[in-house]
């Protein structure tokens, strides 16, 4: 079965909730991981905390909160994309 057939079958509804949630959280999780890796390769958390006057925060804490901040951003992007991809007919119905 080709992907096109499947796309036709799925229509606008009937996509399992688990897939809908996964399609937002999962790609953003991967991207957040990459972003965290790249960002903290270039910037040492200790130097960042020194500059911002939070020298008491450990590197581990900066990495972790950095990862979740990135994840929040990337998952928001994914969610917004899904939201705007909804067909406009949907919007008309509510008027």
Partner 1 sequence: MKDDQAGTLPPPPAENPPTPAGEEVYASHQKVYPREVHGIFANLRMLGVTTLLSLFYGVAWLPWGGRQAVLLDLPARKFYIFGLTFWPQDLFYFAWLLIIAALALFYVTSLAGRLWCGYACPQTVWTEIFLWIERKVEGTRNQQIKRDKSNMTPAKLRVKATKHAIWIIFSLYTGFTFVGYFTPIRELATEMINFNLSPWETFWVFFYGFATYGNAGWMREQVCIYMCPYARFQSAMFDRDTLVIAYDNERGDPRGSRKKNTNPGQAGLGDCVDCTLCVQVCPTGIDIRDGLQYQCIGCAACVDVCDQVMDKMGYQAGLIRYTTERAMTGLRTRIIRPRTIMYTVLLVVLSAGLLYAISQRLPLGLDVIRDRNSLYRETSQGLIENVYTLKVINMDERAHRYKLEVSGAEPGLTGLELVMRKPYVEVPAGEVVGLPVSVRVDPIELKRASNQIKFTLTAADNRKLSLTRDARFLGPVMSR
Considering only residues 12, 53, 56, 60, which one is a binding residue for partner 1 as defined by CB under 8 A? 60
* Of 31, 40, 48, 73, the one binding partner 1 by CB under 8 A: 40
Is 16 exposed, middle or buried, given 0-12, 13-18 or 19+ CB atoms closer than 10 A? exposed
Stretch that binds partner 1, among 9-17, 48-56, 69-77, 80-88 (CB under 8 A): 9-17
What's the sign of the alpha-carbon dihedral 62, 26, 28, 17?
Answer: negative
Q: What are phi and psi of 49, to 5 degrees?
A: -70, -35
Nearest CA to 27 out of 67, 84, 79 is that of 79
Q: Judged by CB under 8 A, which stretch of 34-42, 48-56, 71-79, 83-91 contacts partner 1?
A: 34-42
Kindly indicate which of the ranges 33-41, 48-56, 71-79, 85-93 contains the residues binding partner 1, using the contact rule CB under 8 A. 33-41
Angle between helices 45-52 and 59-85 (to 10 degrees): 90
Query: Which residues contribute to the site for partner 1 (CB under 8 A)?
Result: 1, 3, 6, 9-10, 14-16, 18-19, 22-23, 26, 37-38, 40-42, 44, 58-61, 63-64
């Amino acid at each position: 079965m080709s992907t096109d057939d499947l796309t036709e079958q799925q229509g606008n509804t009937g996509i399992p909730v688990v897939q809908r949630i996964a399609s937002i959280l999962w790609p953003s999780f991967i991207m957040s991981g990459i972003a965290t890796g790249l960002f903290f390769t270039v910037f040492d958390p200790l130097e960042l905390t020194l500059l911002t006057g939070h020298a008491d925060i450990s590197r581990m804490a900066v990495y972790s909160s950095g990862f979740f901040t990135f994840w929040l951003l990337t998952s928001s992007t994914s969610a917004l994309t899904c939201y705007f991809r909804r067909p406009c007919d949907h919007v008309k119905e509510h008027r």
